[in-house]
Structure 1
Amino acid sequence: MSLNGRVAIVTGSGGGLGRAHAVYLARQGARLVVNDVSQDAAERVAREIAAAGGEAIAFAASVTDEAAVATMVAGAMEAWGRIDILVNNAGILRDKSFAKMSMDDFRLVVNVHLMGAAICSKAVWEIMREQRHGRIVMTTSSSGLYGNFGQANYGAAKMALVGLMQTLALEGEKYGIKVNCLAPTAATQMTHGVLSEASLRALDPALVSPALLVLTGDDAPTRTVLCAGAGHFATANVTLSQGCYIGGAEDAGELAIAHWNEISDRSGEIVPGYGFVQAERELASAGTLAPVMEARR
């Protein structure tokens, strides 16, 4: 029980992958806040955890409701005095090709996935800073990392969560807050109709949840995108190629086309430690002394 004594909030955990996450974390010793938009669903999972010898409280709230999220966090603090883990799992789908997608459906999906995760993370951020310990897991997706037909809204929201993770990990580092992304592949209500029945049977959500032990334990990494499904684990990275210096002459566009193979050559690519690495490399290539990132912190 390596998470013994830790307090975890899992959003959207009234069923599917979120339920699997909550049950798994409880088995590892964590005390759970089971969040869902349905009080009945949240209470059902909380009872399941309690019946197995764990501790859990249920709280119904939309992750987009700042006041309700604040009340949920206050309830966890009143019950247990700390919050160690937040798993931003809540989400919805409104799949259509971009040509047929309404902007209302685009906004709704971005609001739940991105703004919901931001609202919940903000609600626990000061608590974790004061504790000098925290673990936040964003739920990204291969649809965001690599694209998927009919999921422009979902993909945009999921890739945005990677950007949120990158910055929060940098800002939380000196406070002991580690922030990562989980990219799951699991058979849930959201994937029925997308995958074959055979694939759905193989993609038991319970096979994803062990990834949370990696991302929430004492030795957790930070700024990692961990992909998990069907018992398989991998990491994904946003990389930067070595590129080449073209300069700013009148024919810079034509030169960039001519040197495209060199610009896009992935040999020697890196995973930047922070976003300003791109500018530092560009300035160094241009012969200008690059600023030091530490001065910006």
Structure 2
Amino acid sequence: MTMLEGQVAIVTGGGKGLGRAFALHLASLGAAVVVNNRNRVPGPDGRSAAEQVVDEIVAAGGRAVADHGDVADPATADALVAAALDTWGRLDVCVTSAAVSAPQMFHSTTAENFAQVMAINVTGTALVAGAAMRVMRDAGHGRIVMVASTAGLHGEPTVSAYAASKGAVIALGRTAAAEGARRGVLTNVLLPYATTQMTEDGMDPRFADTMTSASVAPVVGALVDPASTLNGQVVVAAGSGIRVADAVEGGTVTLPDPSALDGAGLAELVAFSRAGTPHTYAHAQDAFQHFASELT
């Protein structure tokens, strides 16, 4: 039996790039897949991108259906879950890969640009993953992978809205992980590097051929393995490797005289904190409790 035999998955943004690779890989592991991609424009064969992926899956002996909803529309989340339940009677996996970049320098970013990026990348992720989690919590099992970006960890010039949105997705994924674990729903966040339609113009040509979407897909398969116990992890993946990322706080430093604090003094304290023991936490309340206990 293959890893995901009998499982049912939703993959948003599944018609192109990373999402396509994820959908194909999950299907190869035995999952039935709802392939979502909002682009209905037909290719040379008269089929949309999502329909072409479905055709590939079915031709290989798998099971799949296409969906063309916009993830920013709340109706799409309900439709995707309904497609899984109505077609196969269950939902086990949700991978949120739909995203747009819409590059603009921060000082030039328009309200319309920022709103569009947030609507698709953040709200779209939240709506679909939230709808999936409701079903999974009731069933007592499920695996969610939210696709973000290292731009959300470190920032990235020219894509301020995209970076902000992906930082939000990382926080959203860690929150979902903390909430869902008790009900058997595990959530992790993937930060992939891959040469896709979105990244090909900015990809370093030295790495373009090895940074494929297909090379990242097995990490998604492993994250949604029913036997996996990983939860709340932020995993960077590219080519033949992974590395884990985390939110880190430095050592706690007591302010000697808050009323006399100035820029130079704060810089010195920041340096002391950076030199201290690093701390990671499952969620913000844990961080607060530890910080407060060190000050009392």
| TM-score, normalised with respect to structure 1 | 0.92
Residue 43 of structure 2 aligns with which residue?
none
SS, match of residue 283 in structure 1: helix
CA distance in 1, matches of 2:269, 2:255: 8
Q: Is the 8 A contact 2:252 2:294 kept in 1?
A: no
Q: Is the 8 A contact 2:10 2:80 kept in 1?
A: no
Residue 5 of structure 2 aligns with which residue?
4
Matches within 5 A, 1:209-224: 209-217=217-225, 218-224=227-233
Q: Is the 8 A contact 1:13 1:89 kept in 2?
A: yes
Residue 274 of structure 2 aligns with which residue?
264
CA distance in 1, matches of 2:186, 2:224: 8
- Could you tell me how far 1:282 is from its partner in structure 2? 2.8
The answer to whether structure 1 residue 32 and structure 2 residue 42 are counterparts is no
CA distance in 2, matches of 1:253, 1:283: 23
Residue 194 of structure 2 aligns with which residue?
186
AA matched with 1:45: V
AA matched with 1:239: V
Matches within 5 A, 1:162-173: 162-173=170-181
1:179-208 Cα distance to aligned partner (Å, 9 max, x none): 110001111110021114443222111001
AA matched with 1:251: A
SS, match of residue 263 in structure 1: helix
Residue 290 of structure 1 aligns with which residue?
none
Matches within 5 A, 1:1-297: 1-39=2-40, 40-217=48-225, 218-246=227-255, 249-253=258-262, 255-265=265-275, 267-287=276-296
Deviates more, 1:242-251 or 1:50-59: 242-251
- Could you tell me how far 1:127 is from its partner in structure 2? 0.6
Q: Is the 8 A contact 2:178 2:282 kept in 1?
A: no
CA distance in 1, matches of 2:253, 2:194: 41
CA distance in 1, matches of 2:192, 2:102: 18
CA distance in 2, matches of 1:247, 1:124: 50
CA distance in 2, matches of 1:36, 1:165: 21
Q: Is the 8 A contact 2:7 2:30 kept in 1?
A: yes
Deviates more, 1:193-202 or 1:221-230: 193-202
Mark the CA change 1:78 to 1:256 in structure 2 (over 3 Å): closer, same or farther: same
Deviates more, 1:167-176 or 1:256-265: 256-265
Mark the CA change 1:284 to 1:35 in structure 2 (over 3 Å): closer, same or farther: same
Q: Percent identity?
A: 31
Q: Is there any run of 5+ residues in structure 1 with no aligned partner, and where?
A: 288-297
Q: Is the 8 A contact 1:140 1:159 kept in 2?
A: yes
| TM-score, normalised with respect to structure 2 | 0.92
CA distance in 1, matches of 2:34, 2:240: 26
- Could you tell me how far 1:213 is from its partner in structure 2? 2.1
AA matched with 1:263: S
CA distance in 2, matches of 1:85, 1:108: 26
Larger relative contact order (CA 8 Å, sep ≥ 6) = 2
CA distance in 2, matches of 1:282, 1:233: 31
Aligned residues: 286
- Could you tell me how far 1:268 is from its partner in structure 2? 2.1
CA distance in 2, matches of 1:248, 1:104: 45
Large movers: runs of 4+ above 6 Å: none
Q: Is there any run of 5+ residues in structure 2 with no aligned partner, and where?
A: 41-47
Deviates more, 1:64-73 or 1:74-83: 64-73
- Could you tell me how far 1:248 is from its partner in structure 2? 6.5
